[in-house]
Amino acid sequence: MQTRETSLKTQILYIVVVCLVVLLLWFGNEGDKPLVYTGASLHHSVGLVDSESNLVVRESVAMNGTVSSTPKYIMNRGTYTARLAYVAEESGSVLELWEQGRKIAAWPIDQTQTELDAEFTLSKDAKQLQLQVNYSGKGALTISELRLIPRTMFYSDTYFFIALFLVASLFVWFCLVKGRLNLRQEQLVDYSIILGVALLAMSPMMQTYLYNGDDLCYHLARLEGLKDGILDGQIPVNIQPEGLQGNGYMNAMYPYLFLYIGAFLRICRVSIALSYKVIVFLANLGSAVCAYVAMKSMCKSRRSIMLAVVLYTLMPYRFTNIFSRGDLGETLALVFWPLVIAGLYHVVMGERKYWYFLVIGFSGALQSHILSVAFVAAICVVTALVYCVRIVKEKRYIEIGKAAGVSLLLNLWYLAPFLYYYFGDNLSTGALRWSGYFEQSINPSNFTQSVSLYNKQYFSLGLALFGCVGIGVIWLLCEKKERKRDMDGYLMYLFVLGFLLAYMTTGYFPNKAFLENDLFFNVATMIQFPWRFLGPASACFLFVGALGLARSEILKPYRNIIFALLVGLNLLVIISVPTDNNHMPYTNAEAVVSKGHESKLAANIGLFYPHEWRLDGAGDERLVSSVITSDIESITIHDYQKKGTKAVAVYTATADGEYIELPIQSYKGYRAYDENGKRLSFERGMGARIWVPVQGDGKQHTIYVRYGPHPLFITANIISALTIAGLIWRRRKSRMTEDGEAIEE
């Protein structure tokens, strides 16, 4: 009776705590708070700031035009109000609203008033929304404050956190409070450590702002473009319909499977910053899980398994990619390196049934980063050559064939459009080979660096991984073994491979001389940066150190000390993450504009569409947002509407031989039809836009343009879907067989 009463009290207390946390999350909602700028905090190039933080612009500046502006926001569709507090001596100044370089609205600043309320509605999400104050050049204009007020909300981050917390609470309720989760104590501890390490790796991003890495603006553009493509009805998404000022941008050339998570969050109006952070957190969690699963399949020592989890998740190169380089693709690819290394071991000499590790590792890298999967493929080939005799002798080529075949079929949905456009369309790829390669080599003295107080970007193995190298030296080279085991040979192979990869990142590797060779030049300039080898090198050293610690007889008395030392050294990586030392999110309660609130809208980061994967000739200077005619006197454009990859243009032409150009990049897959459904032929005009000849009969005609995937893509999608269904069916059948055998026993 007492036990039941205590249990009831516990359940009531649990519900109360859950409700309290939900209430606190609700009170912390920033999504409906305005963005507030004083005149001094607006971007401005002219004018004086007075003692009250007002921006004062006088005729003495001898100019007119834009004098102040907000940052550029990625803004959800909805209704907003811009409220400008000012004092104007003369009329003529204007508050303007701009989106991707186009002015979409303007409101005159009345000299007889001191406040302007300008309401506007965005029918679709904005990519670069900005408010600008256009000065007339006459009289003094004093800007006191500018507010951007959401009539709905900027973003739904608070609702996302509440939903996530409630789901987690229900899981805990049914699995722990109700006792429906049958976990051993060791498993519960392991899973708690995995989650804790993933959260620790995320801690620098738990600050209120979004780190601006080198490539972050590009990956934010990919995330937004994927969301737009889904809303356009594309699955998979090959074209980012709103990219390049609405002209469209190729999406199929950079893997994007895991970005679907963030894209669906964006569809639910979660801010782009939080959507990005969720992907990074899942990458951290995935790295910990993959290291755990891979090491557990090769080692029974929980100490070594958890060492691998901590060292791999917190290794310096991952942090450099996340916080400094902003390289989301390589960050995601690093998740799967432990499974690749473990999968290769099992394929060539371990448990044959774990051949699917290699499938998951290869597929995960392929769906994350093309260059990383090239490294994976190269190491797979080298490993097969090293162990070719054993593979043939033990007929392990069967498992290799399974892994290769299933990997190909699973990823055919992505490979088909990638290869089709890479080899079949006139894409710009020159920017991919800009790096001199040799100049990006690393000074070996930086390899031990774990704490960086002054250098934003550093490339290091870290002291902990150097400790793994030391363990490998002691175990593999110093200990005498009575009987050499298969794993000893494989770890020696990883040891040598790790050293070779690390050596190739340094300036001591003769890549300067090798660059004179055409083959090496093509490969090196495509890789761009030799430091990319640090990822697989770190994974190799990790396996050598963690497994060596479990197997070494010399180190056996010191295992606990070494474990604590290596983990402690690796925790220093958290300190190395650059920070601007601004730990206070707000200066006061009224100044709601902050690095946190602003950065959730990607202010001052923005979106970037690189030149690679555009069509040749589609430079920024040739991008337009309206229909262009070959003769403005004989062609009249009555209407032009574009939604996603679908566009409609209505025109009248009085002369034959003329044409119109639609502001759409003419990637293969676009089709054009007239009002009768007849297929129209078109070519590529200036800036690689769709160039359509017109009918000069003086009648009104309509051109319908839409994107449709190639039949090859649809076939590839079906094959990949059938492969997934087949694997699920086989797994279920295998489980039923195992359960039947267990019942018979």
Residue 485 is predicted with a pLDDT of 76
Task: Report the C-alpha gap between 413 and 418 in whole angstroms.
Answer: 9
Structure pTM? 0.92
d(C-alpha 86, C-alpha 135), whole Å: 12
Q: What is the pLDDT of residue 482?
A: 55
How high is the mean pLDDT of the chain?
A: 87
Residue 313 has pLDDT above 80, yes or no: yes
Integer Cα distance of 725 and 416 in angstroms: 19
Whole-number pLDDT of residue 458: 67
Say what the pLDDT of residue 745 is.
54
> What is the rounded average pLDDT of the residues 66-82?
93
Structure tokens at 568: 């402690």
Buried/exposed 147-167: b ≥16 CB within 10 Å, e otherwise: bbbbeebbbbbbbbbbeeeee
Q: With CA atoms as reference, report the closest residue to 212 among 594, 604, 580.
A: 604
Contact (CB, 8 A) for 90 and 138: yes
Report d(CA 653, CA 648) in Å as an integer: 16
Q: Specify whether the CB–CB gap between 331 and 492 falls below 8 A.
A: no
- Least confident among 54-58, 443-447, 572-576, 662-666: 572-576
Question: By three-state DSSP, how is residue 276 classified?
Answer: helix
Neighbours of 182 (CB within 10 A): 7
Residue 529 has pLDDT above 70, yes or no: yes
Q: How far apart are CA 302 and CA 312, in angstroms?
A: 15
Give yes or no for residue 583 having a pLDDT over 60. no
- The top-scoring range by mean pLDDT among 563-572, 589-598, 671-680 is 671-680
Residue 472 near residue 548 (C-beta atoms within 8 A):
yes
Identify the band that residue 167 occupies on the pLDDT scale cut at 50, 70 and 90: very high
**Quick one: pLDDT at residue 477?**
80
Contact 147, 35 (CB under 8 A): yes
Percent of the chain at pLDDT > 70 equals 91
| Percentage of residues in the chain having pLDDT higher than 90 | 57
Q: Which domains does the chain have, with CATH numbers?
A: 35-150 (2.60.120.260), 183-423+458-576 (no CATH), 620-707 (2.60.40)
pLDDT of residue 186: 86
Return the pLDDT at 588: 59
Q: Which pLDDT value is given to residue 1?
A: 37
Residues 6 or more apart whose Cβ sits within 8 Å of residue 271: 31, 154, 155, 157, 600, 601
Residues sharing a CB contact under 8 Å with residue 410, sequence separation 6 or more, in sequence order: 359, 363, 720, 723, 724
Do 680 and 264 form a contact (C-beta atoms < 8 A)? no
Whether 332 has a pLDDT exceeding 90, the answer reads yes
Instruction: Give the range among 45-54, 137-146, 476-485, 504-513 with minimum mean pLDDT.
Output: 476-485
**pLDDT band at 483, cuts 50/70/90?**
low
**pLDDT for res 577:** 64
Say which range, 388-397, 437-446, 548-557, has the weakest mean pLDDT. 437-446
User: What is the predicted pLDDT for the residue at 3?
Assistant: 41
Give the residue-averaged pLDDT of 334-338.
Answer: 97
Query: How does DSSP assign 304-323, residue by residue?
Result: HHHHHHHHHHT-HHHHIIII
593 pLDDT more than 90: no
Q: Which of 12-16, 318-322, 652-656, 701-705 has the highest mean pLDDT?
A: 701-705
| Chain mean position to CA 675 | 41
Question: Under 8 Å CB-to-CB from 70, ≥6 apart: which residues?
Answer: 35, 37, 42, 43, 130, 131, 132, 146, 148, 603
Return the pLDDT at 585. 56
CB under 8 Å to 152, separation ≥6 — which residues? 32, 78, 79
Residue 39 has pLDDT above 70, yes or no: yes
pLDDT range class, residue 457, cuts 50, 70, 90: low
Lowest mean pLDDT among 31-40, 423-432, 725-734: 423-432
Residue 339 near residue 353, CB atoms below 8 Å: no
Distance CA(258)–CA(222), nearest Å, equals 11
Residues in contact with 493: Cβ distance below 8 Å, sequence separation at least 6, in sequence order: 383, 386
**Residue appearing with tokens 């952070």:** 277
Residue 581 banded pLDDT, cuts 50, 70, 90: very low
Task: Compute the average pLDDT of residues 497-513.
Answer: 88
Average pLDDT over every residue of 668-684: 92
Q: In terms of residues, how long is the chain?
A: 745
Helix (H/G/I), strand (E/B), else coil: 641: strand
**Residue 418 confidence (pLDDT) above 70:** yes
Q: Give CA–CA dist 383/228, Å, rounded.
A: 42
Which residues make beta-bridge pairs with 427? 615
> Over the stretch 223-282, which tens digit does the pLDDT of each residue have?
999 999 999 999 899 999 999 988 999 999 999 999 999 999 999 999 999 999 999 999
The residue among 584, 315, 345 whose CA lies nearest residue 461 is: 315
Residue 584 pLDDT > 60: no
Higher pLDDT pick, 212 / 385 = 385
Query: Residues 499-504: what's their mean pLDDT?
Result: 93
Query: What gap in Å lies between CA 473 and CA 541, rounded to an integer?
Result: 11
